[in-house]
Chains A and B, each alone.
Chain A
């Protein structure tokens, strides 16, 4: 982060959100929010429960379709898109309530992240010899690097449904990394973790950002973690943007303090 100032300031935007509004029936989840994410930064989105943080991530990776506003990703304007398309464009994601494939092993879960990179067509898979196997082994090697990086070698063959929560979160991060994303969305990566696990996870997030130059947008409730990790912080409350800036600016922002501590109306 210190390396950081990292020229991010003058870097170009990988994502620009402009005037997004999203509602379900009569309930407004997001009201006219605009912000941007610069290439290579760690961008935190914080806010009290029900502030519209997860909805915002869902909009970015195409799971929700906003009624108003535009999204500019890597220079291309879009209104909405299918999640599949978002994945092909390099947006990966982890979820608040771990969305792993419970019946598959750790290895298979992370291998499934390579899905879009695997090109060999169906007929080759019938016989497996040749291209299909070569491709499989090539990607296996990539995945083993991720497994080494996240230090989960021992649980390679374990069905993820049987793993403890902390490890599941790590596997999920592994699956997202296997997609080699340009933009990585992390939804409460440290929820339900103890201090040690949180420190590990923070380390991984920073390493991902440093080693692979991946842009990261994360939602997190632990303020300490947010302030330490992120380059810039967006604060949402009741679906509206109430502050946006560096961690230091946010700490001293009166709106944020009011939103978190409550203010007498």
Chain B
């Protein structure tokens, strides 16, 4: 067996995961038992029982929180998707995905403000994302080909800085309002009387979910049915193989950065419509990072499912547990959820088992 590539920790690793489960379940059981013993004013009760009682007793609120989580999750998933597209095809961890979101949103608003009709603005923004992809390939990636991944990662941070300066220079630093109605996005909300309470779904959020689903569908078709898409998948596995299909690496990089750019533009529109389009938006790149640990850097389904899990978990945690520690735990709780998840599944949600070769 001269080139064995599998690491057989078969037996031992399984038992370790099982042990992790066992420990966790035991601790949880002890905590719940403890909280009943200690009574409903104890901290244990407030952490381990109280929130669930509240979810059960006020279901309309719970549904609303879940919905908010799903919507946020959709947007995280979109950003994560942008990361994954680029990483899968070029091995670049693209920190600039966040600023690309801002850039997409800003250019749309910017074109419209300059008097261009809404849908033409949209088209121009798409063209702009293509220009960005082409420039990045030409100026940043091509000279850095075959460098250490860390170097490429740093280069994308440099790119982020550049785009922040460039964007502020062109569009100005102040927040702008997304042209929601003009490009045909719905507003208002559907309100329901559920569970004796009141649940509200923003039409915009529903539209976001639908558009995200359509986009993922298109990407799936693109990757599975088209020649270029198949080449892209090939390049993720083997650069030589991709070249033999007759597509150069450079073209592929432009294509994936363009695809990631379109995903970013969509994210920018959706997120911008919910709040404002401003440079503060680029922090959603950081929001999407735990999604990537959870779903794996190379898995598109992982990005989507991971995004939804993180979104829901984050909102639920913030709403039900946040007040116990002073709130605003949204900033770090997703990371801890992702890390906790790795405790059970080091390879992530859909990742393959990490194999050591020797």
Taking beta carbons and an 8 Å cutoff, which residues of A are in contact with B? 22-25, 27, 29-30, 49-55, 58, 63-65, 67, 80, 95-96, 99, 239
Q: Are B10 and A95 neighbours in the complex by a CB distance under 8 Å?
A: no
Given contacts A63-B358, A99-B358, is CB(A24)–CB(B6) below 8 Å? Answer: yes
Which residues does chain B contribute within 8 Å of A24, judged by CB atoms?
4, 6, 8, 10
Check: B181 CB closer than 8 A to any chain A CB.
no
Evaluate contact between A53 and B9: CB separation under 8 angstroms. no
Report the Cα distance A29→B4, complex, angstroms: 9
> Would you list 11 pairs from A and B whose C-beta atoms are within 8 A, ordered by A residue?
A22-B8, A23-B10, A25-B10, A30-B1, A53-B2, A54-B1, A55-B4, A63-B7, A63-B358, A65-B10, A95-B358
Closest B residue to A22 using CB positions: B8
Chain A residue contacts of B10, Cβ below 8 A: 23-25, 65, 67
Give residues 1-35 of B contacting A (CB, 8 Å). 1-4, 6-12
- Is there contact, CB below 8 Å, between A51 and B1? yes
Count of chain B residues near A, Cβ 8 A: 12
CA distance A30 to B12 in the complex (A): 18
CA distance A33 to B1 in the complex (A): 14
Q: Name the residue on B nearest A50 (C-beta).
A: B1
Contact across chains for A55 and B1 when beta carbons are under 8 A apart: yes
Q: Which residue of B lies closest to A57 (CB)?
A: B358
Chain B residue with minimal CB distance to A191? B2
A58 touches B358 (CB 8 A): yes
Question: Measuring CB to CB, which residues of chain B are less than 8 angstroms from any residue of chain A?
Answer: 1-4, 6-12, 358
Shortest B249–chain A CB gap in Å is 25
Question: What's the Cα separation between A30 and B358 when bound, in Å?
Answer: 17
Closest CB in chain A relative to B10 CB, distance in Å:
7
A67 touches B11 (CB 8 A): yes
Q: Known contacts A53-B1, A53-B2, A65-B11; can you find 17 more A-B pairs with CB under 8 A? A: A22-B8, A24-B10, A27-B6, A30-B1, A50-B1, A50-B2, A51-B1, A52-B1, A54-B1, A54-B2, A54-B3, A64-B8, A65-B8, A65-B9, A67-B10, A96-B2, A99-B358
Contacting pair B6 A25 (CB below 8 A): yes
B1 A239 Cβ-Cβ under 8 A: yes
Looking at the assembled complex, report how far the CB atom of A101 sits from the nearest CB atom of chain B, in whole angstroms: 14
Contacts of A239 in B (CB 8 A): 1
Residues in B neighbouring A23, C-beta threshold 8 A: 8, 10
A58 to B11, CA, bound (A): 16
Complex interface: chain A residues within 8 A of B2 (CB): 49-51, 53-54, 96
Interface centre among A22, A29, A64, A80 (most CB of B within 10 A): A64
In the assembly, what is the distance between CA of A48 and CA of B230, in Å? 37
Q: Shortest Cβ distance from A49 into chain B, in angstroms?
A: 5
For B7, list chain A residues within 8 Å (CB): 63-64
> Are B358 and A29 in contact (CB-based, < 8 A)?
no
Q: Is the beta-carbon distance between B358 and A80 smaller than 8 angstroms?
A: no
CA gap between A53 and B242 in the complex, in Å: 34
Closest to A55 in B: B1
Residues of chain B within 8 A (CB-CB) of A27 are 6
Chain A residues, Cβ within 8 Å of B3: 54
On chain B, the residues within 8 Å of A30 by CB distance are: 1
| Residues A65 and B12 in contact, CB atoms below 8 Å apart | yes
In the complex, which residues of chain B have a beta carbon less than 8 angstroms from the beta carbon of A95?
358
Q: A58-B358, A99-B358 given as contacts; is B12 within 8 A of A29 (CB)?
A: no
Bound form: Cα–Cα A185–B6 in Å: 20
In the assembled complex, how far is the CB of residue B358 from the closest CB belonging to chain A, in whole angstroms? 6
Residue from the set B7, B10, B358 with the largest chain A CB neighbour count within 10 Å? B358
Shortest CB distance A150–B (Å):
23
CA distance A254 to B149 in the complex (A): 52
Roughly how many angstroms separate A228 CA and B7 CA in the complex, as a whole number?
Answer: 33
Report Cα–Cα, A22/B1, bound state, in Å: 11
Q: Which residues of A lie under 8 Å from residue B358 when comparing CB positions? A: 58, 63, 95, 99
Q: Which of chain A's residues have a CB closer than 8 A to the CB of B12?
A: 65, 80
State A65–B10 Cα separation when bound (angstroms): 8
Within the complex, what minimum Cβ distance (angstroms) separates B151 from chain A? Answer: 15
For the complex, give the distance between the alpha carbons of A28 and B358 in Å.
Answer: 18
Q: How far is the CA of A80 from the CA of B10 in the complex (A)?
A: 12
Report A114 CB to chain B, min CB distance, Å. Answer: 22
State A29–B6 Cα separation when bound (angstroms): 11
A147 to chain B minimum Cβ distance, whole angstroms, is 26
What's the minimum C-beta distance from A159 to chain B, rounded to whole angstroms? 16
